[in-house]
Structure 1
Amino acid sequence: MEKKLSSGFSSQVSLVKCSDYDLALLKQKIYLALELIGGVNKFIQKGMKVLIKPNIMMPKKYGFPANTHPLFLKAVIQIFKESGAQITVGESSAGSQAGVTFTKKALKISGTEEVAETEGVKLVNFDFDQVCLTEIKNPHVHSIPIAKTVFEADLVVSLPKLKTHTFANIITGAIKNIYGVIPGQIKAEYHRLAPRPEQFFTIIRDLFGVVRPGLTIFDAIEGMEGDGPSAGEARQIGYIIASEDAVAADAVATELINVPSMKVLTTRLCAEAGLGKGKMEEITVLGEDLEKSVIKNFKLPTTTVYNPYLYRLILTLTKTEPFINQKKCTLCKVCLDSCPMRAIALSDKTLLINRSQCIRCFCCSETCPHQAIKPRRKNFLGNVLSKIILSRW
């Protein structure tokens, strides 16, 4: 359950270079990343029940930069097995089609299912798991269904992917990865119940307060820049980040791509709630020199707004909206199923967005398997004005 860190505690985060997904190299570098923060045995003991939560958001083939790489997962599993852990891998992906969630398909196509089978570990599709309805103190949502498997584990290990996110948060990392312990399409429904970023991300914060990973290992070897978490472009980053403090891990990941850590809403909210360290002066980075490792030309989302309270104002001024590229659209209707406001409809063999109903959560862009929906700014003068406003924040 929720545990707060003492104010005098300094979180340790390891930052280790890793150039590619060669299995032997991955194991060597992950071992090093863990050794820097206390070693494998600090976290894993023989017989311990360990739940590994990768980030498998879409049914995309091996190596899609929005998903945790299957060889990264395989390396972590092998390391934990050597310490005698009883391992389960669990996930609930984003999106659905004709009322059927994507998770089963995503686990298979991404290579996650094959890794679990070859390594002899249990794989749980959270969409079909029993749930524990867990109360949280949040004005928008009073209880959250969480996969029962989560509470049966002695240790939850998060394997997030370093990638951007169009919905006001700039990146999605270790904190947001925990959202996948909620089964099925109820995840999209929370966007309707809490449509503003400063509302929605309090739900993420409160969920994280219930399900805090005891260890985070970032797959930041290849990530996604631009309009992620699924419609961006692949970007070689070349690092592994590890910490027992997921908030601090997110902070370092954010600083690595040249974004101030506390400008990311999930990091700030969780840090302010005492769920981890978000300020760099409270974090010790071990391994590589973070300042020398910063990627200064990392492309951020079109929707990037550092102040969440200005998010809707800026998007309104610039007329930043999800745009459907009809040439790429295959009429699969995933966006229609995934929209919490039911703002997308089929008209004369064309999918159209009702702008008056759209809350600009960009769930449609996030779940589109063909990258046919992306944010687009239509107002040049508003774009200039937004930059002036943002420069003051």
Structure 2
Amino acid sequence: MKPLVSVIRCPGYDQEMVDRAVRASITSVCDPSEIIRPGHRVLIKPNLLAKARPEKAVTTHPSLVRALINLVKELGAHPVVGDSPGGVNTEAAVRGIYRESGIGEVCRQEGVPIVDFETNVVEVNLPGGKLYRKMTVARASRDVDAIITVPKLKTHGFMMLTCGIKILFGLVPGLSKANYHLKMSRKEEFADMLLDLYSYAAPRLTVVDGVVAMEGNGPAHGVPRKLDLILASTDSVALDVVVSEVIGYRLEEVPTNLAAVKRGLTGELQDLEIVGEDLDEVRVSDFVKPITRGVVRGVPPFLKHLLKDISSPKPVSNESRCTLCRVCVDNCPSQAMRVEKERVLIDYQECIRCYCCHELCPEGAIELRVHPLARPFVHTGS
């Protein structure tokens, strides 16, 4: 049987509207009572990248989290909510992210615990690991009967797309994420690491917030884009293939999609079954992609090596926006950034182009710029 992926219209975040769309998306692909049993403890994992209001499209909208909490309760199970945002995560910082996103208030109103992802960790086996056989993750992900992920549909400067697979990186606590960026600076390796993590997490269900997505230079400083969609599947990799199709990515443009096909974890679009909306009716032809990392078109193979450095977008500090908060410095995996004479300086010999600084800067002061000589050969995200 082909993996099922649902694509359902949802033209806003009115709670009743979201409830209907979430339920329609889920029941189109499975019988929820068969994957969530009475008495189960269920982890609902949203995308809580950074401190941002829901309208910024940085985090999962709280209405989807509420809809899933209520569904889990109706099934006789016990929901908990958790995620590890990017960067240095003190208890106060995480609390602020939950508060700003609106998800903290939803949990309070619904009487649902928020579980610790930062300090209560455990080493787990990865049954389908290619690069990793063990990883340290939040203990809460192990001590539940089922995981439901609720990603926000967004572009990503390094992995091109953050959705059903990339969201699982949030199972890795705080600063440990930087170590993986340092060890796997090549996107192909990073994609395989994420799929190794997927083999452990095995979400029972993934429900995508695509009502308002993010285009451009995501995942934190792109532009909100209204798509009016909620998608769902019990197969996260198949779901990402469909999401990619909706926003105009070729399968091979998204490293996790390509790696998943190579590993036999998913097929191409024709190998999947899509229910709900006709893809031809929901495709977005002008969805703005992030700046592409590396030379991507019109360059002979013998020149790619010579042009690799100038063609990779470089993070640059915009001094007019920078508040010298040091978030970029403190979270740089390769320690390529420092503050000197009230300026953020970047050592490009050490920079691994992971773009964590761009992703985590609260002021959007880290910009990605392409060398003028390389601009004819790269996608600039505009």
Q: TM-score, normalised by structure 1?
A: 0.89
| Paired letter, 1:123 | I
Specify the alignment match of 2:278 in structure 1: 289
- The aligned runs of 1:42-191 (5 Å cut-off) are 42-96=34-88, 102-134=93-125, 143-167=134-158, 169-191=159-181
| Paired letter, 1:349 | E
| Contact 2:295/2:307 (8 A) holds in 1 | no
Summarize the Cα distance change of 1:102–1:201 in structure 2 as closer, same or farther, 3 Å threshold: farther
| Contact 2:310/2:371 (8 A) holds in 1 | no
**Which consecutive unaligned segments of at least 5 residues does structure 1 have?**
1-8, 388-393
| Paired letter, 1:229 | P
Write the deviation string for residues 101-147 of structure 1: whole angstroms up to 9, x where unpaired: 94333122212221111111111130022323446786865631011
| Paired letter, 1:241 | L
Distance 1:50 1:296 in 2: 37
- The aligned runs of 1:347-358 (5 Å cut-off) are 347-358=340-351
| Paired letter, 1:51 | L
Specify the alignment match of 1:3 in structure 2: none
| Paired letter, 2:40 | M
Summarize the Cα distance change of 1:21–1:313 in structure 2 as closer, same or farther, 3 Å threshold: farther
Distance 1:306 1:81 in 2: 49
Q: 1:236 deviation in Å?
A: 0.7
Q: How many positions carry a matched residue from both structures?
A: 375
Q: 1:375 deviation in Å?
A: 1.1
Q: 1:62 deviation in Å?
A: 3.4
Q: 1:34 deviation in Å?
A: 1.3
Specify the alignment match of 1:340 in structure 2: 333
Summarize the Cα distance change of 1:136–1:191 in structure 2 as closer, same or farther, 3 Å threshold: farther
Distance 1:23 1:274 in 2: 38
Summarize the Cα distance change of 1:138–1:212 in structure 2 as closer, same or farther, 3 Å threshold: closer
| Paired letter, 1:322 | P
Q: 1:176 deviation in Å?
A: 0.7
| Paired letter, 1:282 | D
1:221 maps to which of 193, 211, 216: 211
**Is the counterpart of residue 363 in structure 1 residue 353 in structure 2?**
no
Distance 2:306 2:152 in 1: 29
| Contact 1:141/1:193 (8 A) holds in 2 | no
Distance 2:349 2:122 in 1: 35
**Which consecutive unaligned segments of at least 5 residues does structure 2 have?**
none
| Contact 1:220/1:240 (8 A) holds in 2 | yes
Q: Percent identity over the alignment? A: 33
Summarize the Cα distance change of 1:222–1:306 in structure 2 as closer, same or farther, 3 Å threshold: farther
Write the deviation string for residues 130-167 of structure 1: whole angstroms up to 9, x where unpaired: 32344678686563101121112211101011000001
Summarize the Cα distance change of 1:312–1:198 in structure 2 as closer, same or farther, 3 Å threshold: farther
- The aligned runs of 1:153-302 (5 Å cut-off) are 153-167=144-158, 169-275=159-265, 277-302=266-291
Specify the alignment match of 1:6 in structure 2: none
Distance 2:304 2:123 in 1: 34
Summarize the Cα distance change of 1:138–1:340 in structure 2 as closer, same or farther, 3 Å threshold: farther
